[in-house]
Structure 1
């Protein structure tokens, strides 16, 4: 097949469960008179012009079936769309940043993810336990025919405990501080001044999983780009909640209870492949991205979400209805991280082909895992 293009944009989404792929050969940003030949092979995509040939290799474990091409159509302003069968292996092991791999009876060091400053050094965790959902106390009240035995008895960790919540964990810092901390105060990194969490009581501190990296004490601090870390932690959190609680809608709110984002999971089995464009107009966000990233193609496991921003009084009515809906799960993060996440979603949305950016009244984005 042949089309006219100056610099062609390629987008490929592979659905692992459905064993299918959507391929979009986008229109150039600027008009051109360059002839392009496009070839699909089982292991790669080939783009040939009179002066160069570009090959986009598929990751290991992913194969396309060229003979299964169907649904070929051209969408003005977007490009050429086609669907194919794909052979994709199950998702590989994810980056271990969600702290679900913590083991009891092991020693760990807690780092600020933003700057690497040590928050808790060489702590032996005797117990690592999952917390029940936020509504556990209300459920107990419904089940018990006598006064709630757990009333006014919050679940607080002992000195060497770590309790895991949806997007946070609780630890006892009594032995790590010189003065008695006050309840309901922010915990701030001494070096970079970002908010790491908050104190729940004089002994219990809540740390947000998007702000802290926990490593075995014999290990070292992993230098993970901020955007990559936030996406991976948050995406894994959404996948776990959707699978264990059959929850697919979420409100993302700050510590003050203000809703920043409404999220709706579409699927969690996507593999997105898109070549990084070499054009000089690419915008970089050095505070969020690894500036050493080279121009090449990238493949990543991702979840596909619908979202609505709720900043500057946007979508207030919809946010209010979601907050009162018991099927919508709230997730609390530091306000600055909520804004980072919204920026990540907006950037993902802007990078998609035009026809994929909206669904009904929601915007579409991918969060990389």
Structure 2
């Protein structure tokens, strides 16, 4: 098998065919740095080389990219496109304070905290944002989505420990069209919507059709990147609204670029909830966050989960329980597409979460892998995946069938 590298592409020639991946504009390889070419049994071809990116656009926070100040916005159910809140003027979009904000006020301010132990509720034209949810006031919306039960008692509100519930009844807010759980009632006027279930757009824009799997993993990826940058935390527990931990997540890096080329590959099996929009003979480049994860369903990893829950350096994210299960399927699918040698690290499984944003540094090192994803012997080269990690090295994986 012959491997040739140019600044803008990488090509593999075998007796059964040829695979070529072209890099997106702004990303260039350094052919003279190619080294370490080897074949790993059951895994494929590996090699290393340098790559360079011309620019590094800044990360746009998931908390700020959707809700535009001084603009009428419409809230949609992401699953079916049902309008939840129409033409809402958001005059203020504010982040909720962290759990330790009260302690900081006591330490750095000479006057007492006037808001101590008081819940924070948005006004009519406000939108408060937490780690993975929005708080909005629905008092003026006569056609608002109704909860399945009465409001509950609430206590101190913050971005992590956003509400302490003493349930009197079921408070879930359900989409009237597709019956998906969108959020929960916090008070008689305030509703919490999960970011994984809601899309907020300027009212003049049409509802975008985004595959569910892409949307969920992108929202989660941006949440963990934002939190790791702001609070230097890299371990997360993903728990459902039922307070059960479903996933342990460990952020490794947030600077990967992945390039896919499906070619004529038709043997990819998909779950409906995981459908992508890639078509045959299409190529795509997308940004990714690399994470390690452990599933915690059916009492798996119960001891480790308990340790993480009691660790102050671990941050908890709450999502609807069904979304937690969707996310677990997404992580498993992503893990299965990696070369075998890259699927595990210690006792954790590794995977890539897709971002809708570009994260590139100016210089990087590269690692290349060629592997048949389905375990078949090397033959005609058709599809390929290029995974670029832009701080230290880049991993390139070709799937060959």
**TM-score, structure 2 length as denominator?**
0.77
Cα 1:74–1:52 change in 2 (3 A) is closer
1:212 partnered with 2:180: no
Are the aligned partners of 2:62 and 2:223 in contact in 1 as well (CA < 8 Å)? Answer: no
Aligned residue for 1:127?
92
Aligned residue for 1:189?
175
Are the aligned partners of 1:141 and 1:148 in contact in 2 as well (CA < 8 Å)? Answer: yes
- What is the rounded CA distance, in whole Å, between the counterparts of 2:30 and 2:126 in structure 1? 51
Superposed, 1:70-149 pairs within 5 Å as 70-92=35-57, 99-137=64-102, 149=114
- What is the rounded CA distance, in whole Å, between the counterparts of 2:353 and 2:4 in structure 1? 29
Query: Which of 1 and 2 has higher RCO (CA within 8 Å, sep 6+)?
Result: 2
Are the aligned partners of 2:39 and 2:45 in contact in 1 as well (CA < 8 Å)? Answer: yes
Deviating more after overlay: 88-97 vs 107-116: 88-97
Deviating more after overlay: 298-307 vs 48-57: 48-57
Cα 1:144–1:320 change in 2 (3 A) is farther
- What is the rounded CA distance, in whole Å, between the counterparts of 1:231 and 1:99 in structure 2? 17
Q: Deviations over 1:190-247 (max 9, x none)?
A: 0000000000011110001110001111111111111111111111111111111111
Q: Secondary structure at the match of 2:292?
A: strand
- What is the rounded CA distance, in whole Å, between the counterparts of 2:143 and 2:86 in structure 1? 15
Aligned residue for 1:21?
none
- What is the rounded CA distance, in whole Å, between the counterparts of 1:272 and 1:287 in structure 2? 21
Q: State which of 316, 320, 325 in structure 2 corresponds to 1:339.
A: 325
Q: CA deviation at 1:97?
A: 6.3
- What is the rounded CA distance, in whole Å, between the counterparts of 1:275 and 1:94 in structure 2? 25
- What is the rounded CA distance, in whole Å, between the counterparts of 2:221 and 2:55 in structure 1? 17
Q: Deviations over 1:124-152 (max 9, x none)?
A: 11211111123434655677899864343
Q: State which of 124, 128, 134 in structure 2 corresponds to 1:169.
A: 134
Aligned residue for 2:26?
61
Equivalences, count: 334
Superposed, 1:1-369 pairs within 5 Å as 2=1, 37-50=2-15, 52-92=17-57, 99-137=64-102, 149-177=114-142, 182-184=150-152, 185-276=171-262, 278-290=264-276, 293-369=279-355
- What is the rounded CA distance, in whole Å, between the counterparts of 1:315 and 1:273 in structure 2? 33
Q: Mind listing any 5+ residue stretches in structure 1 that lack a counterpart?
A: 3-36
Q: Deviations over 1:144-192 (max 9, x none)?
A: 8998643431111011110011100100001114699632500100000
Q: CA RMSD in A?
A: 2.4
Are the aligned partners of 1:156 and 1:204 in contact in 2 as well (CA < 8 Å)? Answer: yes
Are the aligned partners of 2:62 and 2:222 in contact in 1 as well (CA < 8 Å)? Answer: no
Cα 1:277–1:334 change in 2 (3 A) is farther
Q: CA deviation at 1:40?
A: 1.5
- What is the rounded CA distance, in whole Å, between the counterparts of 1:52 and 1:147 in structure 2? 73
Q: CA deviation at 1:94?
A: 6.8
- What is the rounded CA distance, in whole Å, between the counterparts of 2:181 and 2:272 in structure 1? 20
- What is the rounded CA distance, in whole Å, between the counterparts of 2:297 and 2:102 in structure 1? 31
Are the aligned partners of 1:97 and 1:229 in contact in 2 as well (CA < 8 Å)? Answer: no
Cα 1:195–1:101 change in 2 (3 A) is closer
- What is the rounded CA distance, in whole Å, between the counterparts of 2:40 and 2:16 in structure 1? 27
**TM-score, structure 1 length as denominator?**
0.84
